[in-house]
Amino acid sequence: MSEYQTLIIEQRGAVTLVTLNRPEALNALNAQVLADLLAAIRAFDADDSQGCAVITGSAKAFAAGADIKEMQAMDFAAMYGSDHFAGWDVFTRTRKPVIAAVAGYALGGGCELAMMCDFILAADTAKFGQPEIKLAVTPGMGGSQRLAHAVGKAKAMEMCLTGRMMDAEEAERAGLVARIVPAADLVEEAVKTAATIAGMAPLAVKANKEMVNAAFDMGLSQGVQFERRLFHGLFGTADQKEGMNAFVEKRPGNWQGR
């Protein structure tokens, strides 16, 4: 039996495929999902045989939000006292890349989880939204910030204030998703993309992820400086020598991860 109550984990070569599995609640994110996901993602990050992860849901729902039934009776003291949702910050500290493969609903916390991943591949059936306003609350897992970064103020504001959903095409046009694929091919395409990433030199993968993320926290000149220092640092690795030698010798690189 799986050690996870709400996830199915498969290793496909160097790719960890994580499938959210709470079909009775359209994968709503409750405390158990958070605990399972943090444990799974920590195990993935610590496993040298794994280079990239994919998080997906079902055909109907990636995740239909934070679990409303779990939050329904909570008051301010319970929310603030437990710093509810702070655990999700841990998820974003994963150093290896994580791809969200989204089919169906990605609403509220589901949209926020997808945006916490490094990029989103969307099925043509995907629907994104921050409908918390309809519950008289707001996004609580970073959605207002990450959506505004991804799609700009006008669309983020409209989405948060009206709670309307964006389909896959609009999401791609707006820059929320990297690419749309037919629903039937979503998981295979995401695993294939993850395998491509997992086939790259591991330190370069971490450095690329870290520097693109820095663009959201740093000003331009500071970010460019950060990029350059990380770039310089990679010239202290065996894989940089191997990568450039392999190019000159017209052969694939053989990475050591150091």
Among the listed residues 69, 50, 5, the one whose alpha carbon sits nearest the alpha carbon of residue 195: 50
Give the count of residues interacting with ligand CO8 (CB under 6 A).
22
Q: Measured between alpha carbons, how far apart are the two ends of the chain, in Å?
A: 36
Minimum Å gap between C-beta 202 and ligand CO8 is 34
**Token pair belonging to 142:** 């970073």
Q: What is the number of H-type helices and E-type strands within the chain?
A: 12, 10
Parallel, antiparallel or unpaired: strands 127-129 and 105-107: parallel
> What does the per-residue mask of binding to ligand CO8 show for 195-224, with x meaning CB under 6 A?
------------------------------
Q: How far apart are CA 20 and CA 63, in angstroms?
A: 8
Among candidate residues 61, 66, 101, 201, the one labeled active-site is 66
> What does the per-residue mask of binding to ligand CO8 show for 4-43, with x meaning CB under 6 A?
---------------------xx-x---------------
Minimum Å gap between C-beta 248 and ligand CO8 is 51
**Token pair belonging to 86:** 């702070």
| Helices 153-162 and 143-151: angle between axes, nearest 10 degrees | 140
> What does the per-residue mask of binding to ligand CO8 show for 90-109, with x meaning CB under 6 A?
---------------x-xxx
Among 62, 85, 88, 255, the residue binding ligand CO8 under the rule CB under 6 A is 85
Indicate if 156 belongs to the active site: no
Parallel, antiparallel or unpaired: strands 119-123 and 7-12: unpaired
Minimum Å gap between C-beta 182 and ligand CO8 is 22
Q: How far apart are CA 53 and CA 69, in angstroms?
A: 29
Among 31, 43, 90, 137, the residue binding ligand CO8 under the rule CB under 6 A is 137
Which 3 state secondary structure label does DSSP give 60? coil
Beta bridge partners of 123: 181
67 binds ligand CO8 (CB under 6 A): yes
132 binds ligand CO8 (CB under 6 A): yes
* Catalytic positions, written as ranges: 66, 109, 112, 132
The residues binding ligand CO8 (CB under 6 A) are 25-26, 28, 64-69, 79, 84-85, 105, 107-109, 131-132, 135, 137, 139-140
